[in-house]
Amino acid sequence: MNTARARGIVAAGALGMALLLNGCSADVPADSNSTAAQGHGGHGGHGGADHPADGGPVPADMAAAASPRFPVGSQVTLTADHLDGMVGARATVVGAYDTYTYAVDFTPTTGGGLIEDHRWVVQEEISDAGDERLADGTEVRLAAAHMDGMDGAAARIARSTDETVYVVDFEADGMKMTNHKWVVESEMQPTS
């Protein structure tokens, strides 16, 4: 076999293997600057759903935390695994709030399977939630648009916390995320 033909066969085999392996990994959109793909079902429950690179504004009725451990402008290291590449990423705090924060299980209104343990949704992103902390197992309707199919979806509260909750800017796997909602205090460490 001649050398050029052998190189062609090797290149075709490598390309085929790359395509095969890519099909087994998380779905990454062609324009990864506009949307962040998730592919870690049990680790934050985003299970292949898309998050916008800019999380947008927080709900209008959010109460800013009076004395957060990490004030706005703080540099922190993330320990959360909501998104691929998030663990160990350096972030800047752009908001800190006092509210109840929930991990929820829901089926997107756009179809698809159940997304479990989606972290996080705040009290102000749950329709008719009132002011009291909702019990685990409570059936709710989401009013959050963190990802496609979330707004208006029926959900169940998996667990909750009253830790200070933060909005952060960070970069992970070459993707810049601004106004990422939400990260709770126990998912961040001071940057050393």
Contact 179, 54 (CB under 8 A): yes
Per the prediction, the chain carries an average pLDDT of: 80
Please report which residue ranges of 86-188 form alpha helices under DSSP H: none
Rounded to whole angstroms, the Cα distance separating 98 from 133 reads: 12
- List the one residue out of 177, 159, 184 whose CA is nearest residue 33: 177
**Radius of gyration of the chain from Cα atoms?**
19
Kindly state the average pLDDT of the residues 11-26: 35
| pLDDT tens track for 53-82 | 778 899 999 999 999 999 999 999 999 998
pLDDT for res 99: 97
Give the pLDDT band of residue 156 (cuts 50, 70, 90): very high
- Report which of residues 48 and 25 the model is more confident about: 48
pLDDT for res 52: 65
| pLDDT tens track for 91-106 | 999 999 999 999 999 9
Assign 44 to helix, strand or coil: coil
Give the pLDDT band of residue 43 (cuts 50, 70, 90): very low
pLDDT for residue 179 is more than 50: yes
Architecture per CATH, 35-190: Roll (2.30)
**Every domain of the chain and the residues it spans:** 35-190
pLDDT for res 136: 98
CB atoms within 10 A of CB 9: 11
